[in-house]
Structure 1
Amino acid sequence: MEIVVEPVVSFLVEKLGNLLIQEAISLIGLRAQVEWIETELGWMRSFLKDADAEQQGDERAKKWVRDVHGIAYDTEDVIDSFLLKVESLRGRGSLCSIKRCAFIVSELIARHKIASKIKHIKLKIDDISKRRTTYGIESIGRAEGSSSAGRSLQEWRLTSPNVQEPDFVGFEKDLEALVMRLTEGELRRCVVSVVGMGGLGKTTLTKKLYNTDSVKKHFHTHAWISVSQEYDVRDLLGVIVKRCLVLSNEELEMVEKMNVVELRDKISEYLNHKRYLVVLDDIWKGEAWDSLKDAFPDMNNGSRIVLTTRNKDVALYADARSQPHELRFLNNEESWKLFRKKAFPGQDGGCPRDLEVLGREIVEKCHCLPLAIVVIGGLLSRKEPREWENVCKTISWQFIKGDVKISSILSLSYNDLPHRLKPCFLYLGNFPEDYEFHTMELIRMWAAEGFLQQRGEETLEEVGEMFLKELIQRCMVQVAKRSSSGGIKSFRVHDLLRDLSISEAKEGKFLEVHHGNMNVTSASRARRLAIHHNDLSKYNSLTSSSPHVRSVLIYTQGYSWLQRKQEKFLYRGFKLLRVLCLHGAPIEKLPTEIGELVHLRYLGCTKTFLKSLPSSIGNLPSLQTLSVASFDNIKVPSTIGKMRQLRHLQVKGVDKLNYLGWVGPWGVIEGHPRLDQMSNLQTLSHVKAGKWMQSCLGKLTNLRKLGIGLVTGADAEVFNESIANLGCLQSLSIVTQGFEYKNQGSLVPLSPLLKLSKLRLEGRLEKLPESIEFPTNLTKLTLLFSCLNQDPLATLEKLKNLRILRLLSSSYRGKEMACAAQGFPRLKSLHLEGLHQLEEWTVEEGAMPSLLHLQINKCCHLKKLPGLQHVATLEKLELRDMPNEFKERVREEGEDWHKIHHIPSIDITNDKVEVTPDSLLGSRLFGVLN
């Protein structure tokens, strides 16, 4: 197992640098020692980047990295404890003279202890540095060869391409599509890439493709090369020569003496007049492609290179003009079919009835991953039926620990991650099985943990998005949902990869996951604790035995109320917390002790019953993210203005009309907080307008996302005066409540907001502003409950950069709508929902020339579809909750079928139509204003 330590050291070096800036460090005469530690750890950080890749195969390196890991954590504990003491000292500055004297004495004792610990750490670092030379670890990164595990796996991959998987299940359509790409299409030499996570079946599919008769007959010559992570360019070129050319013994001897350049020229010369197929199996980096590509000439004769990889970036690097073929997971029935073939060989896939229930349970635990199904099926084929139940109980453990092939293949992807991504991947183990990760939620946790370092003008959040995209490109996680603009809204991690992350993280004391059935009486050295259990009382012992814990993530699965003593476990035990996440904990309030967690950077309380936040929340000087979602409206104290590092404030409640599916967004900020001092604030969402806006809103010049509820016309006036100053604003959501906004036909002065790309307007409008008043770069617009009487399309179709338009929930109350020719030039997605009076919609030829996705929901009086036959770009049509008469028109042989038969994907549901009465419009409830 590999120990992730380099990011820990990087974070610590940065923290020491910040500490040296503070005057407080001089008070105890430790500046020289801390400077020495910072310098020495900085050198170690550089060295660790090489050691990171070598520790798998070198026990000396592994031991040395483990020592650095321990000293880095010890140093961090001492420094954080010191900073905690400094904050405590500041908080007691107003004590009476007698108590003050007693406190100073105790402080001197504490400082002496901290000074002694730092001196001890200095000695240990000095010893570790000397050991690096003594034991020859400095040669790391220059040693040849590879670990035995790596060699055995490479040998497994180097099997002949003619040895195929006899039980080929689930990839028939993939095979058909790839055969066409190899034998038809462009004449240029194309690279056809097959992309997917480890164990998904890339090599199995490619072997089947390579040996298909039509493929063999189409090409004059073929070669299969297994590249893998560790490769020698000369050896690979030699394999190509031997498999493509027919050589005598004398010529073979000459080949053995050729260098890389000569071998490339030899291959290129031979292939120059042939239509060839070369498979590069398991290629990991673009450098490998660069070293081989010159051997493959492009004679414009239909030659092909097939490349299998886990990294989509590598596929696009090899040929940006060729779309990678991304493999999917098997479905449930395909998984069951493959399992039967492996578990009962020679029986034509038959399964005894008494084993079917248990067999399907085992297959379900394989999570549709072909490699896992094949291995576990092969294992069970050699066991008696009475042993199946034991295998079922221990199946996850077998995947990670017991079966070399699965653990080795999955670990390859992890080991290949750059050092900056490894802690980000391991962090995924904190969350429950089958958890759907919300992108920004996780990225903000990464930032709080110190995994993200700012680069140039990029924000931490932008760096985090790049990290996530790289994990997706490497097939370590899968996109679950995309936003309407194409961004990653949420994602999932395959359960076997999650198991791998937990196993690797536990080995390196990175995190521990508790499910309620684990022994928690012994001390835990893990820096992070994830608790997926309702009863927190059994974890009370951890507070005294694990003071070093930096993150606690609790995901409860029930509604048992937390007792006061359980709250103490959270807030009084872990003084050095950076991340605290309470998901589903049925709490009504946070105790005042929360303000003692001065290192806290992320506080998340979702699916709770919170009604207010304590004023002590303002005592959290390091807090970056405060995210609260409650089943009630939430009062936010004015002390939040003291949190100068706060970047994201999200306070979301649900109002009493939630049964209608309407979400009441609002948190109430009390009094006159000095929000103008919060220069780092980027997100302020789901808050209600109030007194705080008058002197603060216009000074939050770093805001990127704002969601606000305007309750009165006076709120709107203050808002209009402030909004022009928010030049960084990218996303704006406005809800007007209880009044109709009137301002000479103008909604808000948005024109100066050049970065504003997303706008959501909810509530009654007198009319839409003119098209020239909208922000120039607006790409997404959502309207709800606007109750417009004039056709909004006449104005909106003139917005040249608009790509996404959503007209929802009585945003328009007229009977007719029309899209003129040349209207909506860049619109890609259009969503119409709850336009209950709409009867006729016309689309002229030439309108919406870029539209890809059209969704129409609950437009209960719409008689027919417009002329969509003219929209040749349309790829997907969704019709939901529409009247039966309408649906009959759009089915095959229906009156409107000729308008949509060219669309590749058509989704029509049979749900019952429900009309929302106009009397309910605008009746959403806010919390009480204070």
Structure 2
Amino acid sequence: MAEAVVSFVLESVRDFTIQEAKFLSGVSQQAEVVQTELQLMQGFLKDADARQGQDETVRIWVAKIRDAAYDLEDVIQTYGLKVVSKKKRGVKNVLRRFACIFNEGVDVHRIGKEIENITTRISELRSNLQKYNIKELTTDRDGNDGESSFQLQERLRRTRSHVVECDVVGLESNVEELVMHLVKDENRHRVVSIWGMGGLGKTTLARQLYHNKKVRQHFHSFAWVCVSQRFQVRNVWEGILIELISATKEQKQEIKDMTDDEIAKKLFLVLQEMRCLVILDDIWRIETWNLLKDAFPNVKTESTILLTTRNQAVALPSNRSAFLHELQALNEKKSWELFEKIAISGRADIDLGIFTKKRELGMKMLRHCAGLPLAIIVLAGVLARKNTVREWERVHENVHEYIRRGIGHEEEYEGASWVLALSYDDLPYYLKPCFLYLGHYPEDSEFLVSELTKLWVAEGLISLRQQRHGSRETMEDIAHDYLSELVERCLVQVRTSGSTGTIKGCRIHDLVRDMCLLKAKEESFLQINNSLQENNSSVAAEAAQLGKIRRLAIYLDEKADRLVSSRDETNGHVRSLLYFFPQGWMPRNIEGLLSPLKDFKVLRVLKVECLNQVEVELPSEIGNMVHLRFLSVKWSDIKKFPPSLGNLVCLQTLDFRVSNYVAVVIPNVIMKMKQLRHLYLPRNYRAKGKLELSTFGHLQTLYNLSSEYCDLKDVGRLTNLRKLVIIVSSTLQNMEEILKSTGNTLNRIRSLLVFVDKQ
């Protein structure tokens, strides 16, 4: 994922240097040189990312590149924000001005040296490319320059039509439905697609259809082709044509001598004139279909193309008529039936007591499979070799590893993890960090799309450079598109939807989450602490080996007595800090509960929600976190906020929806946060004078706008506002005043709520 990190850092640094060029004049040359070094490195990172799983040296090299890129971004933005802050404060006399000039000169010299040191690091790493045999890849994976590290996976994934699985459970209704669509004559679909996540049994279902008696009687000719991620169009066409016409040796030679156009035309005519069933197994990308489809009839034909895919965009593109069949996970009953068939059936010597104990253990272990047939087969295959109850108990104690890695849990390609990881490997570089970010959320939890997209934007994972030309879409719109693509690729599951079909809440399959955390660990993307009682030295040692910890998700348990661990060397590099509390959590030590947060100097995301069992105070030092883009203390019991919040000029999302019923004091400093995109004020608050909101040119969301403490006329200047919640005091009876004040904005708003405060 170094390719993604370097790309995002380059965009971030480039954008920042453009916006703040007048304040970076002293180091602009050094910043330009280091950006050039990173740009020269980009072409080699695709190969390095692909190879780091097989080569520990390359993995360390990639980690160093990631760290250098992140350090560059931190250094430039920290310095830039410091200089901007000084310029805005101004000075009142000559001596103070002279001191500021001197200090700025020192800062320029220091920052210049730091950038030069990073440049040297990157240059030295680039000079080692030849030593590691890392090549510059300019073609896509579907081109001729396929990476050798994928060759073993290609061989293992290749499917054959003649193989018929014996252990098939839970596909009967799927077979029945699809047979009907394949053999019916009226309103037939030219393409039938089977879509679902890796390991659900798409290939198994396709084989059941391929050998089905009714299907065999209906079609005259058959072909099965496994379309790998690094396929060759001509090879696929040749394979289909040879199978459909049962080519003789002479015909095979004729086909070999044909041009690509001649093969495509010949295959087109065969499919048009005969009733054929062609199964294209394991298609990954819409580009693959677009390259192959020229040989398939696009007019009325009795032939059918059946394809299996993990990508909904392949299964049901907008430009063709296709029937989509979404394959679902097995229910508890079918899961046990498949498990028992492999792990227990056929053992005549098993007595009732042993069977009962194994069934109890088996049912517990099956919960970790979450209905995924591949995981059930892997687990059952391991247990089929274990005879005693004690052996089953040992598997139960480490069940995740056995499911992930298979028999003996040392054979990587025997387990479920690598099959699921293929979906991650196939992601474009810009989606990989977005997917890994989902690892922050606890197992089985539902995450809100509205929050997730804001976090992605705050972390710099979304850029307007990815915006479609001429479009007025926001970064949040792009983030929603990215999430939809992860859903289409079966890496994210939709849990709740809105009345208009928009995705509201999502989750990820437990085994996909396991794979996500494994990849996040390999990439030094995310560190999860299950309790602050853990030994932090092991975390620091792991960070030193794989790269600095940049993101922390902390799952507090009932025993934890504080929020933040004692300061260590990792805190200075953490960009994202998300807390997840057990219900009703109450710390024993309330004094200064949030104070240690000041140690996180480059923090961009801080999510401390649901601290509602104790009254806490937001420390004034939070104003030193000048990099913060996302701050949420939602549903926490906070009575007042420090004026130092005005220093957080980079904030994009500020969520003040605290839980207490007493009016919260809001300092009149919010107007300084000119980058705000989403502002959530408390339901009950007060302020000295009117809160000024007219400076928020980027604001899209405004919750709990009070007619008493805000000037409603400011709303008319918020040209990008999409969601608005207004609280009207009981003294304001006439809604006409609101409508006049907000008239210029209301025609753009997608969601408007008005509450009357009766207090």
1:235 is matched with 235
Kindly report which structure 2 residues correspond to 1:221-232, keeping only aligned pairs within 5 A, or say none: 221-232=221-232
Q: CA offsets, 1:875-916, max 9 Å, x none?
A: xxxxxxxxxxxxxxxxxxxxxxxxxxxxxxxxxxxxxxxxxx
Deviation at 1:476, TM superposition (A): 0.9
Give me the whole-angstrom Cα distance separating, in 2, the residues matched to 1:475 and 1:717.
48
CA contact (8 A) 1:552 1:581 kept: yes
- The answer to whether structure 1 residue 448 and structure 2 residue 452 are counterparts is no
Find out whether 1:733 has 2:724 as its counterpart: no
Query: Is this contact kept in 2: 1:520–1:542, CA < 8 A?
Result: no
Shift of the alpha carbon at 1:701?
2.6
Mapped contact 2:182–2:304 kept (Cα < 8 A): yes
- The answer (yes or no) to whether the contact 2:728–2:754 under 8 Å persists in 1 is yes
Q: Comparing 499-508 with 385-394, which one deviates more in the overlay?
A: 385-394
8 A Cα contact 2:24 2:80, kept in partner: no
What letter matches 1:724 in structure 2? G
Secondary structure of the 1:603 match is strand
User: Pick from 579, 583, 601: which aligns with 2:609?
Assistant: 583
Which residue does the alignment assign to 2:579?
Answer: 554
Counterparts of 1:489 and 1:171 in 2: how far apart (Å)?
A: 30
Residue 552 of structure 2 corresponds to which residue in structure 1? 529
1:154–1:599 CA distance, 2 compared to 1 (3 A): same
Q: Distance in 1 between matches of 2:310 and 2:605?
A: 32
Q: Say whether 1:678 aligns with 2:696.
A: yes
State the distance in 1 between where 2:57 and 2:76 align: 29
Going from structure 1 to structure 2, the CA distance change for 1:318 and 1:709 (only over 3 Å counts) comes to closer
Question: Offset at 1:95?
Answer: 9.5
Shift of 1:291: 3.2
Q: Which position in structure 2 is the counterpart of 1:15? A: 13
**How far off is 1:153 after superposition?**
3.0
Residues 298 and 323 of structure 1, relative CA distance in 2, 3 Å threshold? closer
Q: What does residue 333 of structure 2 align with?
A: 333
**Which amino acid in the other structure matches residue 505 of structure 2?**
S
CA offsets 1:595-638 (integer angstroms, 9 cap, x no match): 11110000112332233333322221000001234332452332
Greater helix fraction, Structure 1 or Structure 2: 2
Post-superposition shift, 1:16? Answer: 4.3
Secondary structure of 2:552 counterpart:
strand
For 2:518, the aligned partner's letter is S
3-state DSSP of counterpart to 2:280: strand
Aligned to 1:437: 447
Q: Deviations over 1:165-198 (max 9, x none)?
A: 2222222222211111111154656100000111
State, as a whole percentage, how many aligned pairs show the same letter: 38
Matches within 5 A, 1:297-446: 297=297, 300-317=300-317, 320-347=320-347, 352-384=355-387, 385-401=389-405, 402=409, 403-404=412-413, 405-446=415-456
Q: Matched residues in 2 for 1:144 and 1:125: separation?
A: 30
**Residue 115 (structure 1) aligned with residue 145 (structure 2):** no
Correspondence for 2:512: 497
Listed one character per residue, the Cα deviations across residues 765-784 of structure 1 (whole Å, up to 9, x for unaligned) are xxxxxxxxxxxxxxxxxxxx
Counterparts of 1:520 and 1:338 in 2: how far apart (Å)? 42
Report the Cα offset of residue 35 of structure 1.
2.1
* Superposed displacement of residue 355, structure 1: 1.7
Shift of 1:213: 0.9
**Contact persistence 2:227–2:283 (CA under 8 A):** yes
- Check whether the contact 2:492–2:506 (CA below 8 A) recurs between aligned residues: yes
1:330 positional shift? 1.4
- Select 2:653's aligned residue among 625, 644, 658: 625
Q: Distance in 2 between the 1:187 and 1:302 partners?
A: 11
Deviation at 1:649, TM superposition (A): 0.9
Equivalence map 1:773-784=2 (5 Å): none
* Aligned equivalent of 1:646: 676
Aligned pair count reads 723
> Can you give the 5+ residue segments of structure 2 that lack an aligned partner in the other structure?
none
Q: 1:190 to 1:608 in 2, by over 3 A?
A: same
Aligned-partner residue type, residue 509 of structure 2: H
**2:575 is aligned with what amino acid?**
R
Q: CA deviation at 1:257?
A: 3.8
Unaligned runs of 5+ in 1: 654-665, 739-925
Q: Deviations over 1:827-864 (max 9, x none)?
A: xxxxxxxxxxxxxxxxxxxxxxxxxxxxxxxxxxxxxx
Q: Distance in 2 between matches of 1:577 and 1:286?
A: 38
Q: Is residue 188–residue 299 contact of structure 1 (8 Å, CA) maintained in 2?
A: no
Read off the aligned partner of 2:31 and give its amino acid letter.
V
Q: Which residue of 2 aligns with 1:906?
A: none
Compute the displacement of 1:734 (Å): 1.2
Q: Helix, strand or coil for the counterpart of 2:537?
A: coil
1:654-689 CA-to-partner distances (Å, cap 9, x unmatched) read xxxxxxxxxxxx555552122111211111113432
Q: Secondary structure at the residue paired with 2:635?
A: strand
CA contact (8 A) 1:603 1:625 kept: yes
Q: In structure 2, what is the equivalent of residue 798 of structure 1?
A: none
Further displaced range: 540-549 or 357-366: 540-549
Cα distance in 2, alignment partners of residues 226 and 54 from structure 1: 24
Distance change >3 Å, CA 376–CA 259, structure 1 → 2: farther
Aligned equivalents of 2:319 and 2:307: distance in 1?
A: 10
Q: In structure 1, how many angstroms separate the alpha carbons of the residues matched to 2:753 and 2:160?
A: 59
- The equivalent residue for 1:818 is none
Aligned to 1:30: 27
Specify the code of the residue in structure 1 equivalent to 2:229. Q
**Does the Cα contact within 8 Å between 1:237 and 1:264 map onto a contact in 2?**
yes
Give the TM-score normalised by structure 1.
0.72
Asked whether 1:483 is paired with 2:498, we answer yes
CA deviation digits over 1:118-177, x for unaligned, max 9?
Answer: 221222233344444676645434695655663333333334323222222222222211
CA shift for structure 1 position 66 = 3.9
In structure 1, the residue matched to 2:480 is 465
Cα 1:428–1:113 shift into 2, 3 Å: same
Contact 1:668 1:688 (8 Å CA) reproduced:
no
- Displacement of 1:374 in angstroms is 0.8
Residue type of the alignment partner of 2:38 = L
- State the alpha-carbon separation in 1 of the partners of residues 402 and 100 from structure 2: 56
- Per the alignment, do residues 538 and 556 of structure 1 end up closer, same or farther by CA in structure 2, a change over 3 Å counting? closer
1:167 aligns with 2:170: no
Output the CA distance in 1 between the equivalents of 2:610 and 2:571.
24
- The match for 2:738 among 715, 719, 724 is 719
Query: Shift of the alpha carbon at 1:346?
Result: 2.2
Change (3 A) 1:537 1:371: same
User: Any idea what the Cα deviations from partners look like across 1:35-83, whole Å, max 9, x if unmatched?
Assistant: 2223333444466467656766788876654443232122123224424
Aligned to 2:213: 213
Of 172-181 and 680-689, deviating more is 680-689
Task: State the 1:14 CA deviation.
Answer: 2.8
8 Å contact 2:654–2:679 — kept in the other structure? Answer: yes
1:732 alignment partner AA: L
Distance 1:303 1:717, change over 3 A: same
Contact 2:646 2:669 in 1 (8 A): yes
- Structure number, greater radius of gyration: 1
Cα distance in 1 for partners of 2:756, 2:174 equals 51
Alignment of 1:273 with 2:273, yes or no, is: yes
